[in-house]
Structure 1
Amino acid sequence: MAVEHFDVVVVGAGLSGVGAGYHLQAEAPDRSYVILEGRDAIGGTWDLFRYPGIRSDSDMYTLGYSFRPWREAKAIADGRSILNYVRETAREYGIDRRIRFRHLVKQASWSTEDALWTVEAEADGKPVRFTCSFLFLCGGYYSYEGGYLPQWPGMDRYKGALVHPQQWPQDLDYSDKRVVVIGSGATAVTIVPEMAKAAAHVTMLQRSPTYVVSRPAEDKLANTLREKLPAKLAYDVIRWRNVLFGMWFFRLARRKPEAVKKRIIEMVRAELGPDYDVETHFTPRYNPWDQRLCLVPDSDMFKAIRSGAASVVTDHIETFTETGLKLKSGKTLDADIIVTATGLNLQVMNGLELVVDGQHIEPGRTLSYKGMMYEGVPNLASAFGYTNASWTLKCDLTCEYVTRLLNHMKKTGLRQATPVNTDPGIETQPWLDFTSGYVTRAMASFPKQGSKAPWKLHQNYALDLMTLRYAKLEDGVMQFSNPAPKGAKVRLKEAA
């Protein structure tokens, strides 16, 4: 089997992978790289999901790339606009020429003797192999194979259409149909108002409420600044404003959860009126930011409820019936279509099997270094965004760190960078402290964070900016080793 070599193999051609391609070209331009994408298109999440109304739940001034301004009027953008933005970025910088589509990575094995990863993939069902000096996982955090679907009694009896948002049928006609959307997270609050425009009625069925906050789809200040300032300057100003506001609000929610909770509930009550049962349907049992807040642009969810096109039911499913659902309260919901917006299946390290010098790596037994590399695993990083802010903010910083690391190794002539914990006082904690179901179901298999830096996750852009962009690489934890043998030839292979 022929083996191709690149300095860096990037896994995934979505938002993170395209960003990685830019940073490698801009900051480590003498390094060759290839992006291996299991599907046949650029875009990741924004190409995979096709359900009605799909949009960002973060503003595009922070979800967008640091190096390429978001130029459209809407700050809370629809999925098609975001997909176009990612694809245009790939074309503009020639990143699309470095992508190998339908290359599904299965395994990666590190050899200290060779200072190389051997990456095993399937290309159109056939095995292919690559070697690289550094492996960069940018394939996101959930499985593309399918979403999470609880098994309720009687599901096989239901005669209507049962749809999961991750496998949305493009020919689904919901005009004048009775729809029940099971769930109350970001996907549900996106689907409900959009389907309500054409359906006979849409019911959002939830076991428990979620914090829902309205925000204008367009940022008036941002649009004004873009008219008066150069695009990049206006983008940077608004980006920092939104970053700082998000950090302030998250800290306030942690320090004064009751006050923040009260204010959010007051805003919901103002949207739905004094007679609406906000206590039952929009007052969560947990504190703000114990789970991610749901953002609704221009109050679309609340408008659908006020108009009568949509409603919320807070109850538990007892069983499916032939015509819909029977709830534990005794109430029944008839439905022509049931949408199971019940979450994702998280997938650790892009689902790869990792082997280091013949030893299989169990991710759940490793510590995460700065939220991006892993104890005892050389020359590998993964892009994983914030839970309390935009995904891309952390991924941009991770890409910058990776290129700094590559340049440092070249300068010093050392081929290996490995995070090593020598502090016996480090205590382990779950990687994420969210209480969302999709998180709690998977955390046992994910790497752990430590009780102290650099093993502790900050979930704070300003702190990560200092530790990833400016802090010393040689911090006593990141160990550089494995000098190249004298006379060894460097293998290079351009991806283009």
Structure 2
Amino acid sequence: MGERPMSDRATDFDVLIVGAGISGIGMAAHMKEKSPNRSFAIVERRENLGGTWDLFRYPGIRSDSDMHTLGFDFEPWKHEKSIADGPAILEYLDRIVDERDIRRHIRFNHKVVSADWRGADARWHVTVEGENGERKHLTANWLYLGSGYYDYDEPYDPGFDFGEFEGQVIHPQFWPKDLDYSGKNVVVIGSGATAVTIVPSMADKAAKVTMLQRTPTWMFSRPAKDALANFLRKVLPEKTAYKITRWKNIKLQDFGFKRARTKPEKMGEGLHKRIRKSMGADYDLKHFTPPYKPWEQRLCLVPDDDLFEALKSGKADVVTGHIKAFEKGGVRLTDDSFLPADIIVTATGLKLAVAGKIKVSVEGEQVDFAQRFYYKGCMFSNIPNLAVVFGYLNASWTLRADVNSDYICRVLNLMEGMGVDIAVPNLPEDHGLEEDDIFDFSSGYIQRGKSIMPKNAVAFPWRLNQEYISDRKLMREQPVDDGILTFYRKGANARRTDEALEAAE
């Protein structure tokens, strides 16, 4: 991996970033550019950067968002394909950390176990575990959690009893290296983005790949290459072309999402029309007609019609049904039909996790995030100097990562100018906030994880929005010092002193 992590002697940082995936690398790059006076380190539990894109190694692993929005606002996406595979995304992230001299700030094989805020020294006291299990302590003024949204250790387990089945059972989160599936029958259980990626990717070598779904998913096909983006890159400077394409894709996605909300039937007809264009006018759409409206769950992207091409070739199949039992040689459904299988892939989803499962406490008292309100989608009520990234469900993860990084850099710069150490979103006990459903999504993993998610109010700033365009505007235009985010000097009990106010003016 090139340069090794920095010396263990340097334990004190202005900002400790947890996770070297899209969120953590994004924050480091924003800090380099916007808060260069602040020191930072990234702690990453894995031996490589990339987070999700390094963890998942299943066939065909790719983005289900276009890379002009999954890419950062500061770094153009240069590949011809805008729906990119895992290796291309890792290459993009590697280039960013090397060109911006971020790699030396990353400590690999360091897992954060706990973090306790102590107001007396305005520091997070963080316990990390090294690769040999030894524990170390780091301190930081700010903690920035770029630890993703799901449990890295265990995927969702639907409780299958594999009974007499003697073949291999694989979960995409733990794909074996060098799996040979040539000439074998594969059953992929699931109908989300992972299943839709795996099925056409395995179809070329396998004898037959069957996608077994309990419920259909809305599918959306589009070219993997963005013709406008590739044209603009030929005639305009790279950054300008990227900016235009990025904004076009953001607006199109926003329009599509809102149209699905206001005219779901029309949206459904449009999606079906695309499938019929690929599969033929008389194709039976029952396997692609969910019982819910478009965008009540995330749409599944089918780049270059790859899933439909695999179905047409006869190398892949889609079956909608319920599992009765796993038998010798395959899967028995409740209608008594039998799907032969040598390999079963359980693409049954993820398990949500909050704050990377780190034990977070304030003055020794453990924080229950389910009892805290989001503040501006990146901080939490009455927790000092802590920021987090939880990406958009209806758009690219990176859009929120960029917005939050930019905002926290502005907070850091204001604090420096004021000579204060602590920033806390202040919510009184008698706040009277009206609560809102944090996610208006019916996806299984969202519904299962709701009990652990932080609270959402009806009105900004005490919420996690699902509207990038309005978030971007609000976060940029509203003052950081909004009367809610409260600033202190360490050891001070009152709100910031008059001297600090004068220093900021």
TM range (shorter): over 0.9
CA deviations on 1:125-174 (whole Å, 9 max, x unpaired) are 10011111100000111111132121223x14210111110100112111
Give 1:260 shift. Answer: 0.8
Determine if the alignment matches structure 1 residue 326 to structure 2 residue 338.
Answer: no
Partner Cα separation in structure 1 for residue 452 and residue 103 of structure 2: 33
The residue number in structure 1 matching 2:154 is: 146
CA contact (8 A) 1:2 1:129 kept: no
CA deviations on 1:435-459 (whole Å, 9 max, x unpaired) are 1111111110110111111113321
Give 1:277 shift. Answer: 2.0
| Structure 2 counterpart of 1:127, from 129, 135, 143 | 135
Partner Cα separation in structure 1 for residue 328 and residue 34 of structure 2: 59
Partner Cα separation in structure 2 for residue 137 and residue 431 of structure 1: 19
Partner Cα separation in structure 2 for residue 257 and residue 457 of structure 1: 24
| Structure 2 counterpart of 1:369, from 375, 381, 401 | 375
Partner Cα separation in structure 2 for residue 35 and residue 458 of structure 1: 27
The residue number in structure 1 matching 2:247 is: 240
CA contact (8 A) 2:167 2:344 kept: yes
Give 1:2 shift. Answer: 7.4
Consecutive unaligned residues of structure 1, counting only runs of 5 or more, are 486-496
The residue number in structure 2 matching 1:54 is: 61
Partner Cα separation in structure 1 for residue 9 and residue 249 of structure 2: 48
Q: How many pairs does the alignment contain?
A: 483
Bigger shift: residues 129-138 or 431-440: 431-440
The residue number in structure 1 matching 2:46 is: 39
Once the two structures are superposed, the pairs formed by residues 239-278 of structure 1 within 5 Å of their partners are: 239-278=246-285
Q: Which amino acid letter does the alignment assign opposite residue 59 of structure 1?
A: D
Once the two structures are superposed, the pairs formed by residues 277-426 of structure 1 within 5 Å of their partners are: 277-278=284-285, 280-422=286-428, 424-426=431-433
Determine if the alignment matches structure 1 residue 90 to structure 2 residue 94.
Answer: no
Q: Which amino acid letter does the alignment assign opposite residue 330 of structure 1?
A: D
Q: Which amino acid letter does the alignment assign opposite residue 477 of structure 2?
A: Y
Bigger shift: residues 263-272 or 323-332: 263-272
CA contact (8 A) 2:121 2:490 kept: no
CA deviations on 1:354-398 (whole Å, 9 max, x unpaired) are 111222110111111111111111100001211111110110010
Q: Which amino acid letter does the alignment assign opposite residue 413 of structure 1?
A: G
Determine if the alignment matches structure 1 residue 64 to structure 2 residue 67.
Answer: no
CA contact (8 A) 2:120 2:491 kept: no
CA deviations on 1:80-114 (whole Å, 9 max, x unpaired) are 10111111111110111100011100110001111
Q: Which amino acid letter does the alignment assign opposite residue 203 of structure 1?
A: T
Give 1:272 shift. Answer: 1.7
Bigger shift: residues 411-420 or 181-190: 411-420
Partner Cα separation in structure 2 for residue 135 and residue 340 of structure 1: 35
The alpha-carbon distance between structure 1 residues 194 and 7, as it changes in their structure 2 partners (threshold 3 A), is same
CA contact (8 A) 1:112 1:357 kept: yes
CA contact (8 A) 1:430 1:443 kept: no
Give 1:69 shift. Answer: 0.5
CA contact (8 A) 2:120 2:490 kept: no
SS at match of 2:489: strand
CA contact (8 A) 2:129 2:135 kept: yes
CA contact (8 A) 1:3 1:131 kept: no
Partner Cα separation in structure 2 for residue 94 and residue 457 of structure 1: 32
CA contact (8 A) 2:157 2:348 kept: yes
Q: Which amino acid letter does the alignment assign opposite residue 99 of structure 1?
A: I
The residue number in structure 2 matching 1:429 is: 436
Q: Which amino acid letter does the alignment assign opposite residue 109 of structure 1?
A: D
Give 1:470 shift. Answer: 2.4
The residue number in structure 1 matching 2:186 is: 179
Q: Which amino acid letter does the alignment assign opposite residue 75 of structure 1?
A: S
CA contact (8 A) 2:194 2:347 kept: yes
Partner Cα separation in structure 1 for residue 289 and residue 273 of structure 2: 10
Once the two structures are superposed, the pairs formed by residues 151-166 of structure 1 within 5 Å of their partners are: 151-153=159-161, 155-166=162-173
- CA RMSD in angstroms comes to 1.4
Consecutive unaligned residues of structure 2, counting only runs of 5 or more, are 1-7, 493-505
| Structure 2 counterpart of 1:470, from 477, 482, 496 | 477
The residue number in structure 2 matching 1:7 is: 14
Give 1:33 shift. Answer: 0.3
The residue number in structure 2 matching 1:137 is: 145
Partner Cα separation in structure 1 for residue 216 and residue 236 of structure 2: 42
CA contact (8 A) 1:146 1:167 kept: no
Q: Which amino acid letter does the alignment assign opposite residue 159 of structure 2?
A: Q
| Structure 1 counterpart of 2:468, from 461, 471, 486 | 461
Bigger shift: residues 293-302 or 448-457: 448-457
SS at match of 2:252: helix
The residue number in structure 1 matching 2:122 is: 115
Q: Which amino acid letter does the alignment assign opposite residue 393 of structure 1?
A: L
CA deviations on 1:15-73 (whole Å, 9 max, x unpaired) are 11111111111111010000000011011111111000000101111100111111110
CA deviations on 1:260-302 (whole Å, 9 max, x unpaired) are 1121122222222233320x20001111111100001100000
The residue number in structure 1 matching 2:201 is: 194
CA contact (8 A) 2:403 2:472 kept: yes
Q: Which amino acid letter does the alignment assign opposite residue 20 of structure 1?
A: M
CA contact (8 A) 1:108 1:352 kept: yes
SS at match of 2:260: helix
Partner Cα separation in structure 1 for residue 436 and residue 123 of structure 2: 31
The residue number in structure 2 matching 1:440 is: 447
CA contact (8 A) 1:51 1:191 kept: yes
Q: Which amino acid letter does the alignment assign opposite residue 252 of structure 1?
A: R
Q: Which amino acid letter does the alignment assign opposite residue 145 of structure 1?
A: D
Partner Cα separation in structure 1 for residue 10 and residue 231 of structure 2: 53
